[in-house]
């Protein structure tokens, strides 16, 4: 039996393997993108180059984000396989990633999601940002794969949303790559899920959005620093619920 409303520090693949089948109605997550393994000059520019999160040049606290591509793909596919095992027949995974050009080819992540039941792609359109790189237009979108089991249905009226979502990136968070709360609130409130897993929990955004919607969360995060950050954020939220949140 899973204890919900909890964040576990550890490797998500190892922790997921200890959890029973169908423990969660929904998975919402954004893995590390393997950005340091890049042929482009964006990440090599000390100011962050073409990337929105200049801080990512310094990497995550306990993870270098630089695996050989094939190893990274295999790791992510193993993670998705575990996530699929952990949701029931009416469950879904919202898997956030980034497309990019590598050595002249589009790396659209099909090698990761190939064979999984991708039902739809949502574009998350961020707003603005600073571009230090004269050779590229400013990148402003990411993709969210809706990977759904056959009986998954949206909450009533959620199908009125389009498939391009415009939300400002998060600026008030010291994690190098946080989700905006509004983005995850849109996902969770669009489902009837009662329990939500984020195996790459980072600063706890999925937990905050779950609590905002009166759902239960379960998070896994490798970095002890980010686990503390998430717990601190959750306890602040629990002391002042909804104070800083406005649905847009």
For residue 178, state whether it binds ligand SAM (rule: CB under 6 A). Answer: yes
What is d(CA 225, CA 233) in angstroms, rounded to the nearest whole number? 12
**Taking the CB of residue 64, how many other CB atoms lie within 10 A of it?**
11
Candidates 203, 207, 211, 219; binder of ligand SAM (CB under 6 A) is 203
Which CB atom, from 187 or from 222, has the smaller least distance to ligand SAM? 222
Tell me the site size for ligand SAM, rule CB under 6 A.
Answer: 21
When CB distances to ligand SAM are compared, the closest residue is 202
Q: Which of residues 51-90 bind ligand SAM (CB under 6 A)?
A: 60, 62-63
The distance of closest approach from Cβ of residue 162 to ligand SAM in the complex, given in angstroms and rounded to an integer, is 23
- Minimum CB separation of residue 139 from ligand SAM in Å reads 16
Scan residues 21-40 and list those touching ligand SAM (CB under 6 A). Answer: 30-32
175 binds ligand SAM (CB under 6 A): yes
Of 31 and 42, CB closest to ligand SAM:
31
Shortest distance (Å) from residue 106 CB to ligand SAM:
21
Q: 55 or 90: whose CB is closer to ligand SAM?
A: 55
Residue 113 or 177 with smaller CB distance to ligand SAM? 177
Contact between 179 and ligand SAM (CB under 6 A)? yes
- Please identify which residue in 38, 205, 215, 216 interacts with ligand SAM, judged by CB under 6 A: 205
Q: How far apart are CA 198 and CA 75, in angstroms?
A: 16
Three-state SS for the chain is CCCCCEEEECCHHHHHHCCCCCCCCEEEECCCCCCCCCCCCCCCCCCCCCCCCHHHHHCCCCCCCCCCHHHHHHHHHHHHHHHHHCCCCCCEEEEEECCEEECCEEECCHHHHCCCCEEEEEEEECCCCCCCCCCCCCCCEEEEEEEECCCCCCCCCHHHCCCEEECCCCCCCCCCCCCCHHHHHHHHHCCCCCEEEECCCCCCHHHHHHHHCCCEEEEEECCHHHHHHHHHHHHHHHHCCCCCCCCC
Q: By CB under 6 A, is residue 223 in contact with ligand SAM?
A: yes
Judged by the rule CB under 6 A, the positions of this chain that interact with ligand SAM are 11-12, 30-32, 60, 62-63, 175, 177-179, 200, 202-203, 205, 220-223, 226
């Amino acid at each position: 039996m899973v204890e919900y409303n909890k964040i576990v520090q550890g490797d998500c693949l190892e922790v997921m393997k200890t959890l029973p089948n169908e423990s969660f109605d929904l998975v919402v997550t954004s893995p590390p993108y393997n950005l340091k393994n890049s042929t482009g000059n964006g990440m090599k520019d000390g100011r962050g180059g073409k990337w929105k999160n200049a801080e990512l040049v310094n990497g995550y606290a306990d993870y270098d984000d630089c695996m050989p591509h094939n190893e990274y793909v295999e790791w992510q596919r193993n993670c998705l396989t575990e996530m699929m095992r952990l949701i029931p027949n009416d469950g879904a995974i919202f898997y956030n990633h980034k497309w990019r050009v590598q050595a002249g080819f589009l790396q659209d992540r099909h090698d990761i999601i190939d064979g999984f039941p991708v039902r739809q792609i949502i574009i998350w359109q961020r707003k603005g940002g600073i571009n230090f790189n004269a050779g590229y237009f400013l990148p402003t979108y990411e993709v969210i794969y809706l990977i759904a089991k056959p009986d998954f249905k949206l909450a009533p009226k959620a199908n009125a949303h389009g498939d391009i979502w415009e939300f400002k990136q998060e600026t008030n968070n010291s994690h190098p790559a946080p989700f905006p709360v509004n983005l995850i609130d849109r996902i969770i409130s669009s489902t009837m899920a009662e329990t939500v897993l984020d195996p790459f929990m980072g600063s706890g955004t999925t937990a905050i959005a779950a609590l905002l919607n009166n759902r239960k969360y379960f998070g896994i995060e490798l970095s002890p620093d980010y686990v503390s950050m998430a717990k601190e954020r959750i306890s602040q939220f629990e002391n002042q619920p909804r104070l800083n949140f406005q649905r847009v």
